[in-house]
Amino acid sequence: MVVLRTIKGLNQSDLARACGKDRQAIEKIENGKVNSTAYSLYSISKALEVNLFELLKF
């Protein structure tokens, strides 16, 4: 996810705003500290403008 976020030119705060989460939640997801729900991953994929499969590959 970090790679996709970086390619899109977003920082964690930008991504968090785009998908309705807080920056700390994005950080925890990226660092594998929490198991994200399918809906959270879906909203992140939409914010990154990729399909969910592409998000899960990274």
Per residue in 7-45, pLDDT (tens digit) is: 999 999 999 999 999 999 999 999 999 999 999 999 999
Q: Please name the amino acid found at residue 20.
A: G
Which pLDDT belongs to residue 57? 86
Average pLDDT of the chain is: 95
Q: What is the DSSP letter of 50?
A: S
pLDDT attached to residue 23? 97
Q: Total domain count for the chain?
A: 1
pTM exceeding 0.85: yes
Which stretches within the chain are classed as H helix? Answer: 2-7, 12-19, 23-30, 38-48, 52-57
Contacts of 21 (CB under 8 A, 6+ apart): 15, 40, 43, 44
* Torsion sign (Cα): 58, 26, 21, 25: positive
